[in-house]
Amino acid sequence: MPFIEIRDISKSYGALSVINCLSMSVEEHQVVCLIGPSGSGKSTLLRCMNGLESIDHGEILVDGDRITGPGVDLNSLRRDIGIVFQSYNLFPHMTVLDNVTLAPIRVLRQSKRTAEERGIELLKRFGLADKAKEYPDRMSGGQQQRVAIVRALAMDPMVLLLDEITSALDPELVSEVLDIVRELANEGMTMLLATHEMGFAREVSSKVCFLWGGSVYEEGPPEQIFGDPQRDRTRVFLSRIREAKRI
Partner 1 sequence: MPSGEATHQQARRLTIGGMPSAPTALFFVALITVTLVVAGSWYTIATMGRALRSSQLADWLVTATSVLLAFASILVMLPMTRAFKQWMNVRRAVARNDAIAARVARSGACDQCWIAIGYTLAQFIIVVACQFLLANNQAVAKTFFFVPLMVGTFPLVLDAFWLNVEIFLIAEIFVLIWGLVVALAMFAPGAAGKPLRIIATAYVDVFRAIPAVLVIYLVGFGIPLTGVPIIRNLSLPAFVVIALTFTVGAYVAEIYRAGIQSIHWSQAAAARSLGLTHMQSLRFVILPQAVRHIIPPLLNAFIALQKDTALVTVVGVIDAFNQSMVIAANHYNLSAVTTVAVLFIVISIPQTRLVERMMQRDRARMRAGSI
Q: Which residues bind partner 1 (CB under 8 A)?
A: 50, 52, 74-76, 78-79, 82-83, 85, 87, 89-93, 102-103, 106-107, 135, 137-138, 151-152, 155
Compute the C-alpha angle 86/195/92, nearest 5°. 10
Nearer residue to partner 1 within complex by CB, 73 or 183: 73
In the complex, least distance from residue 210 CB atom to partner 1, rounded to whole angstroms: 26
In the complex, least distance from residue 93 CB atom to partner 1, rounded to whole angstroms: 5
Q: What is the total residue count of the chain?
A: 247
In the complex, least distance from residue 96 CB atom to partner 1, rounded to whole angstroms: 12
- What residues contact 244, with CB distance under 8 A and at least 6 apart? none
In the complex, least distance from residue 14 CB atom to partner 1, rounded to whole angstroms: 18
Nearer residue to partner 1 within complex by CB, 38 or 76: 76
Nearer residue to partner 1 within complex by CB, 60 or 208: 60
In the complex, least distance from residue 102 CB atom to partner 1, rounded to whole angstroms: 6
- What residues contact 199, with CB distance under 8 A and at least 6 apart? 247
- What residues contact 62, with CB distance under 8 A and at least 6 apart? 3, 4, 5, 80, 81, 158, 159
Compute the C-alpha angle 36/62/189, nearest 5°. 70
**C-beta of residue 60 within 8 angstroms of C-beta of residue 9:** yes
In the complex, least distance from residue 41 CB atom to partner 1, rounded to whole angstroms: 18
In the complex, least distance from residue 202 CB atom to partner 1, rounded to whole angstroms: 28
Nearer residue to partner 1 within complex by CB, 79 or 235: 79
String of DSSP letters for 106-164: HTS---HHHHHHHHHHHHHHTT-GGGTTS-GGGS-HHHHHHHHHHHHHTT--SEEEEES
Phi/psi at 183 (5° precision): -60, -45
Burial of 244 (0-12, 13-18, 19+ CB in 10 A): exposed
Nearer residue to partner 1 within complex by CB, 106 or 231: 106
Q: Is 195 helix (H, G, I), strand (E, B) or coil?
A: coil
Nearer residue to partner 1 within complex by CB, 151 or 202: 151
Nearer residue to partner 1 within complex by CB, 74 or 236: 74
